[in-house]
Amino acid sequence: MEPLLEKFAKLGCDNAPGQEGRQKTVELELRGEKLEGIPVDFSHGDVDAFPPIPGALTNFVGGVEKVGARQAYTEYRGGRRTREDLAGKLSAFTGAAIDPEKNIILAPGTQGALFLAVGANMVPGDKVAIVEPDYFANRKLVEFLGGELVPVQMDYWGTADQGRAGLDLEGLEQTFRGGVKLFLFSNPNNPTGVIYSPEEVGRIAALAKEYGVTLIVDELYSRQVFDGRSYTHLCAQAERPDNLVTIIGPSKTESLSGYRLGVAFGTDSIIDRMEKLQAIVSLRAPGYCQAVFASWFAEPEGWLEQRIAEHQAIRDALLAKLRSCPGVTARTTEAGSYLFPKLPPLAVPVEDFIRILRLYANATVTPGTEFGPQFTQHFRINFSQNREAAEAAVDRIVTMVERYRG
């Protein structure tokens, strides 16, 4: 195969969230009747069920009508006032020192920030460590940029009651010793929803410092923490590596995904390179949309607490339903809106089962293999949905598990 085609063969997005409608039709064995019900797309959150922060649209319109050209054409790293506002808010949230002139860049979505961060910290041939399971784009980014993927395992299931994520820290050190240049990971973890313990975060930071490894920490879901748990920001650790970028954005808990807004903050030389890359990738985060950042970390009193409580209640309801099905296991989500259940053995491949769910049970989920090749019995759901519709859809999923039990 030509190098170009070979490269893109690794970058499939047919199973990626929201892309399911583009899948080729395949023959599927339907057992029993089709299950009717309000369709639920668990591949991403429903911003109709959990609408954007109040006032977001007003801020957008103000950006267009009152600020005008200055809002449309910001510096590539984002408008100065917005950077100043965000540096203050994110310093207060994380405990890190952030200079708005040097340490922060706005990007088109958290995905945009992640692309810039990875692209600005590796060249073809570099070894890059990633966690399994972790966000599916991490591995694809490294593959597109010509890096060598070095997986590190996370035993999130075996450590479910130990208050830690379960990262194989010895394995991580081995990869660092073996020449890894860059380590990227999400905390809270996507897809499992587990939080790294203070000890895990501290050890990752210390190892990166010791071996001179650059760290990219995706903290997209770090505001939505359940059960009153604590969360440890790596960027605020006393002992941390010289090269560190933290990524966060208002697309998830705050439902602002339609505005494509993300932020990265960290080491100034990295932010400089990210801006150079942004200059050729998309110029800047959408200018008018940048005005919407004013709504973030400035939500009405009690708004965030209520949102967290509602998500926690949905989590509990769906977990109870899933666990009522013999053979289905799932660690309790500690933060964020994801569940990553493991299914019992089925009579059909999991990819087929997931298509059956979509076509015959009105439930769209993301296959586990997107998060690591070994997760052949898993799927991910985003439970930021209308609660009633989500509960009915999980009932349908459970019914289908029973029908296809192997």
By beta-carbon proximity to a second copy, the closer residue of 73 and 303 is 73
By beta-carbon proximity to a second copy, the closer residue of 231 and 259 is 259
Residue 140, Cα to own-chain centre: how many angstroms?
Answer: 14
**The CA-based dihedral angle spanning residues 352, 17, 226, 152, taken in that order and rounded to the nearest 10 degrees:** 80
Angle formed at CA 323 by CA 318 and CA 329, multiple of 5 degrees: 110
By beta-carbon proximity to a second copy, the closer residue of 271 and 401 is 271
Bridge partners of residue 149, in order along the sequence: 128
Least gap, CB of 179 to a second copy (angstroms): 14
Least gap, CB of 130 to a second copy (angstroms): 13
Q: Exposed, middle or buried, 5 (CB in 10 Å: 0-12/13-18/19+)?
A: exposed
Least gap, CB of 300 to a second copy (angstroms): 19
First CA to last CA distance, the chain: 37
Least gap, CB of 283 to a second copy (angstroms): 5
By beta-carbon proximity to a second copy, the closer residue of 111 and 377 is 111
Judge contact between 245 and 266, C-beta under 8 A: yes
Least gap, CB of 29 to a second copy (angstroms): 28
d(CA 203, CA 207): 6
Encoded tokens for 90: 């994110």
Least gap, CB of 79 to a second copy (angstroms): 11
Least gap, CB of 399 to a second copy (angstroms): 26
- Distances in whole angstroms, Cα of residue 322 to Cα of each of 95, 165, 318, 353: 38, 21, 6, 16
By beta-carbon proximity to a second copy, the closer residue of 141 and 263 is 141
Helix residue ranges, H only, 44-195: 56-62, 69-72, 80-94, 109-119, 136-144, 169-177
Least gap, CB of 117 to a second copy (angstroms): 12
Least gap, CB of 321 to a second copy (angstroms): 23
By beta-carbon proximity to a second copy, the closer residue of 164 and 260 is 260
DSSP state letter for 21: G
Counting Cα atoms < 13 Å in the Cβ hemisphere of 255 gives 21
The one-letter code for the residue type at 157 is W
Strand locations in 197-299 (E): 214-218, 244-248, 262-266
- How crowded is residue 102: how many other Cβ atoms within 10 Å of its Cβ? 16
d(CA 293, CA 301): 17
Helix (H) or strand (E) holding 367: strand 366-367
By beta-carbon proximity to a second copy, the closer residue of 108 and 341 is 108
d(CA 221, CA 131): 17
By beta-carbon proximity to a second copy, the closer residue of 64 and 309 is 64
Residues lying near a second copy in the complex (CB under 8 A) are found at 3-4, 7-8, 11-13, 16, 18-19, 21-22, 44, 46-48, 51-52, 57, 60-61, 63-65, 68-69, 71-76, 107-109, 111-112, 115, 119-124, 137, 140-141, 144, 146, 257-260, 273, 275-277, 279-289
Least gap, CB of 232 to a second copy (angstroms): 28
By beta-carbon proximity to a second copy, the closer residue of 3 and 326 is 3
By beta-carbon proximity to a second copy, the closer residue of 12 and 373 is 12
